[in-house]
Amino acid sequence: MIKQHQHIYNEAGVCEICSQTAKVYEQANARNRAKNSALKTASSQKHQHEEGHPHDHSEDDGHDHEHSLDGNSSLFKLFLPSIVSLLLLLLGLGFDNLWTMPWFNGNLRLAWYLAAYLPVGLPVLKDAVKSIKKGNFFSEFFLMGIATLGAFAIAEYPEGVAVMLFYAVGESFQTLAVSRAKSNIKKLLDQRPDEASIIRDGKTLTIKAKDVKIGDIIQLKPGEKLGLDGLLISDTASFNTAALTGESKPDTKNKGEQVLAGMINLQSLAQIEVTTAYADSKLSKILELVQNASAQKAATELFISKFARIYTPIVVFLAIAICFIPYFFVQDYVFKDWLYRSLIFLVVSCPCALVISIPLGYFGGIGAASRHGILVKGGNFLDVLAAVKHVVMDKTGTMTEGVFKVQELQLTNELALPNIMDYVNLLESKSTHPVATAIHEYVGALREELPLQDVEEIAGHGLKATINGKELLVGNFKLLDKYQVAYPVNPADIAYTTIAIAYDKQYQGFLTIADSIKPDAKASIEKLHSLGVKATMLSGDKEAVVRQVAKELGIDQAYGDLLPEDKVTRFKGIKVQDQIVAFVGDGVNDAPVVALSDVGIAMGGLGSDATIETADVVIQDDKPSKIPVAIQIGKKTKTIVWQNIGFAFGVKAIVLVLGAGGLATMWEAVFADVGVALLAILNAVRIQRSNFKN
């Protein structure tokens, strides 16, 4: 149902947000920000980039109303006042001009046009009075109210009705456009089922998904969709993850692995232990993130809001001047004529086209990004994406698959230490790095009975532990250098990623691991170059490997063997050269670099709560080709927004001059206000239908 629009005022009596902008945000479900604020960590509510953009996640604006369109009946109710007003206006114009009726004059004619005016005018006049009572005189309701009532005062009844009618039609189309934008996003993201089958006391019960508790066991049949995040307690199960990543390739999970809301069970019956509440699932957070994204206003939106607050009072006083000042300079001054000109000036000057279309344009850009599997946290980041001149990226998991396989194993004396690879396998099992998975797949089952102790991860180097009272080192050759272990090989001569092994202060050998480049990685770099964007790779992997990958992809610059602090130093050097720089990575391990970037883009953010909270843009399907798509969407959004600004100001300026000179009527004023607003809305929603090629 469509609820009556209301306006909330602060203690100072000022309407906290223009009704048009409020509608855009409220229809985007912004009021849920307050309800779900508990989902946001302190870092997401306010984390300022050291040398980049602010990440102030604003709280609820104080509104408590919502618009939604459910079916044709609600759509009819939305336009019903405008339809009634239009029919009465057309009949009145017919009586005036086509079918001359002697009875249609005087008070009866006034009553007829008042009847046409009230369905669309009364809500606006109520808002104007409410606004004035709270001390905010110069609202768009005030402008529309005095312009249309002024038209009635000088007996220009049809013009008065027409101005308010088209204003109401403009608001209705805006409501429709925003509702559909919101609906499109929700269809894309809200993949959660309403019910879940759980096992309690040996019985299977079907209850509402939101009533499922943490620790409950969900029984998921083949073809059913999971409603909450949890851990798989069945031995194995295959899932379709298209709802989360856009990829329908089956993903096989083993006992103890995490499964997420939105995944579809493909084969055998599966049981999942719930680990998060319905409202806290990663899919819920992503849905909230995108629907609340419009709260992050772009600089253009903020400028227009400030401009409207200054601009509106100025034009009101100019309209008064147009009405009265000519009395002192014009010989044949006729008050009615100059009042009519001032009313035209007021109608034209209403900034509705700007305050409607600009937020809608950014919301459309966010919706278009969502349709392409890209989650953007706000309109401000679309502006930053549009201006990006340099993309800095990680290698593993960003431009490569992040799925390593052991290529070669060289041990100095395997006979003396037959269990050395079991030691390495057990130690690597304590790490979450993809290398650990590759070693586990190569060596086989873990020998948990081995006396592994004092496990320590050394950032940028590897792992250290004690086994049988002796020191075990597994990592890069820098780790061996750190602990002064000599080795007879030159790491620079080894082409692949190398894992060195030392035990009891003695070098034991190394194994090499290779990662495959993502299929669309090369095309994404080519697309970035075509957009005039430079690309640089920063990686902790060995220099030779990084340079080889960069050469294959056509990346401009590449640096390897970097510790986290080295990445920061390199990135600062890039920031000095280029004004707007984006960073693409996992958003967690590279947190210091993300903090320095103007816009942080996370790959595979579904795997980490921290990524969803800290990244500005999240690419759902891990495809690097989405990086240039995000930049294209940012550029397209900015272009459309500035088209609307230029068009609105241009038409208004022309009609304002014509109106003040008596060359334009109220009908031209209607076009300059509501007509321009409607055209700007249509232009703004155009981006939602645009197709951006990967």
Residue ranges of the chain assigned to CATH 3.40.50.1000: 379-399+518-615
Residue ranges of the chain assigned to CATH 3.40.1110.10: 403-516
Q: Which residues of the chain have pLDDT under 70?
A: 1-73, 174, 177-192, 241-250, 282-305, 308, 352-356, 402, 432, 434, 586-591, 604-614, 693-694
pLDDT digits (tens, 9 = 90+) for 78-90: 888 889 999 998 9
Can you give the pTM of this predicted structure? 0.63
Q: What is the pLDDT of residue 40?
A: 34
Nearest-angstrom CA–CA distance, 300 and 43: 25
Active site residues: 394
Q: How many helices (H) and strands (E) does the chain have?
A: 24, 24
Specify the CATH superfamily of domain 403-516.
Calcium-transporting ATPase, cytoplasmic domain N (3.40.1110.10)
Q: What is the pLDDT of residue 295?
A: 55
CATH topology of domain 195-280: 2.70.150
Q: What is the pLDDT of residue 30?
A: 37
What's the token pair of residue 411? 């041990």
Specify the CATH superfamily of domain 379-399+518-615.
HAD superfamily/HAD-like (3.40.50.1000)
Per the CB < 8 A criterion, the answer to whether 51 and 390 are in contact is no
Per the CB < 8 A criterion, the answer to whether 298 and 380 are in contact is yes
Query: Which residues does residue 600 pair with via DSSP β-bridges, in sequence order?
Result: 583
Q: What is the pLDDT of residue 690?
A: 76
Q: What is the pLDDT of residue 25?
A: 41
Q: What is the pLDDT of residue 305?
A: 63
Q: Which residue has the tokens 């004690």?
A: 466
Task: List CB contacts of 526: < 8 A, sequence separation 6 or more.
Answer: 554
Per the CB < 8 A criterion, the answer to whether 509 and 409 are in contact is yes
> Nearest to residue 282, comparing CAs of 265, 254, 263?
263
Nearest-angstrom CA–CA distance, 272 and 216: 8
> Nearest to residue 286, comparing CAs of 245, 256, 230?
245
Q: What is the pLDDT of residue 35?
A: 33
> Any idea of the CA torsion for 357, 360, 365, 371, to the nearest 10 degrees?
-140
Q: What is the pLDDT of residue 283?
A: 66
